[in-house]
Amino acid sequence: MMTNEDLVRDLRLSDGAARRPYLAGISCTRLASFAFTALALGTVGALTLIFILQSLPVWQDEGIGYLTGGKWFYRVQTFGALPMIYGTLTVALIALLLAAPIGIGAAIFTSEFLPARVRLAVKITIELLAGVPSVVYGLIGILLLRDWIYELFARFDLLSGDTLLTAGVLLGVMILPTVMTLADDALRSVPAEQRRAARGLGLTATETVLAVTIPQAGRGLIAALLLGLGRALGETIAVFLVVGRQDNNLPANIFSPRAWLESGQTLSSKLGGSETNIAYGDPLHWAAMVGLALILMTMVLAATIGGAWQRKTKYAPSI
């Protein structure tokens, strides 16, 4: 048990720089934090390296066709990942199309028009959405969204309610809190003086938002979208449950929204499926599955790094 006296002694010890623990002249705190950072970075590096090494056989076997091939039949050792890359990008794009206007719109409202207290309440409520486990979203998707999309687009003669659109809409809801809360932070980081100056020049509240706040928070808003995109790309279980998991369903025209009403497969739904179990032990098939993970990781990393970079380099506008 720590007595009161112990506590007081501890406090005294920690008081004053001279008594901080040092190891060979280097602060232990510094050393420890360096070690943890190195560990975290090393894990990412090692993971990437393992993914590259383990996926080597499929690159050797399929070459660039692994990325551009439209057929995936593991039973005859044909591996083309394009339909899954298409599925992943399409689903994430739909999610962004939905989450961008709603998320940024909500952020403008909370940050520019709500009193501070209410703003926090609204923000926390929306952030609660981010705490809902993704499998719950998936189940809601199965229960409500599938049937809703199925009936809503019935005249397009859908084959079933499991479509890229269903997955995209579900993902849109899931990344909404990320987009909204980061966009809100970006808008709040614009100094109040700027707004006051604008209002002082006679701009209305709306004009201030459109002409001053949004342009200045621009990079932060893009960062919010990119980080939302990163989350959408990697999400697995909710997508898995409603995307239909149909391989090789590459549409004739990949820009056609009509194809959004078809079942598809994403990189993550493929990885979350039963093939990962089967692939283990077959070097080429396993390499192909690890290769999918590598592609997915590259995409998520690109979005996340892009987002972080946009967020970091803030600038004062030259007026």
Q: What is the spatial distance between Cα 71 and Cα 79, in angstroms, rounded to a whole number?
A: 6
Angle between the N-to-C axes of helices 218-234 and 82-108, in degrees from 0 to 180, rounded to the nearest 10: 140
From the list 65, 129, 275, 301, which residue makes contact with other proteins (rule: CB under 8 A)?
275
Rg (CA), the chain: 25
From the list 36, 113, 280, 309, which residue makes contact with other proteins (rule: CB under 8 A)?
280
From the list 160, 194, 203, 301, which residue makes contact with other proteins (rule: CB under 8 A)?
160
Nearer to other proteins, 277 or 313 (CB): 277
Residue 274 sits in the site that holds other proteins (CB under 8 A): yes
What is the closest distance, in whole angstroms, from the C-beta atom of residue 150 to other proteins in the complex?
7
Residue 140 sits in the site that holds other proteins (CB under 8 A): no
What is the closest distance, in whole angstroms, from the C-beta atom of residue 207 to other proteins in the complex?
50
From the list 59, 74, 148, 153, which residue makes contact with other proteins (rule: CB under 8 A)?
74
Q: Are 79 and 292 in contact (CB under 8 A)?
A: no
Let me know the angle formed at the C-alpha of 159 by 156 and 160, rounded to the nearest 5 degrees: 110
Q: What is the spatial distance between Cα 103 and Cα 111, in angstroms, rounded to a whole number?
A: 12
From the list 89, 114, 278, 302, which residue makes contact with other proteins (rule: CB under 8 A)?
278
Residue 273 sits in the site that holds other proteins (CB under 8 A): yes
- 3-state SS track over 173-218: HHHHHHHHHHHHHHHHCCCHHHHHHHHHCCCCHHHHHHHHHHHHCH
Residue 268 sits in the site that holds other proteins (CB under 8 A): no
DSSP conformation class of 19 = G
Question: Which DSSP helix (H) or strand (E) runs through 97?
Answer: helix 82-108
From the list 147, 191, 258, 312, which residue makes contact with other proteins (rule: CB under 8 A)?
147
Cα 86 to Cα 212, 232, 245, 248, 264: the distances in Å are 37, 14, 13, 10, 9
The region, left, alpha or beta by phi > 0 then psi within -120 to 50, assigned to residue 27 is: beta
Residue 252 sits in the site that holds other proteins (CB under 8 A): no
Residue 281 sits in the site that holds other proteins (CB under 8 A): yes
Q: What is the spatial distance between Cα 262 and Cα 276, in angstroms, rounded to a whole number?
A: 24
Residue 127 sits in the site that holds other proteins (CB under 8 A): no
Nearer to other proteins, 185 or 275 (CB): 275
Residue 134 sits in the site that holds other proteins (CB under 8 A): no
Q: Kindly determine how many residues on this chain lie close enough to bind other proteins according to the rule CB under 8 A.
A: 29
Residue 150 sits in the site that holds other proteins (CB under 8 A): yes
Residue whose token pair is 């994430």 = 92
Contact string 227-246 vs other proteins (x = CB under 8 A): -----------------xxx
Q: How crowded is the C-beta side of 185, counted as CA atoms within 13 Å? A: 16
Nearer to other proteins, 73 or 309 (CB): 73
- The neighbouring-strand residues paired with 78 are 73
Let me know the angle formed at the C-alpha of 143 by 90 and 121, rounded to the nearest 5 degrees: 80
Candidates 27-35, 52-60, 68-76, 186-194; binding stretch for other proteins (CB under 8 A) = 68-76
Site for other proteins in 23-52 (CB under 8 A): none
Residue 4 sits in the site that holds other proteins (CB under 8 A): no
What is the closest distance, in whole angstroms, from the C-beta atom of residue 2 to other proteins in the complex?
10
Which residues lie near other proteins (CB under 8 A)?
73-76, 78, 142, 146-147, 150, 157, 159-162, 244-249, 263, 273-275, 277-278, 280-282
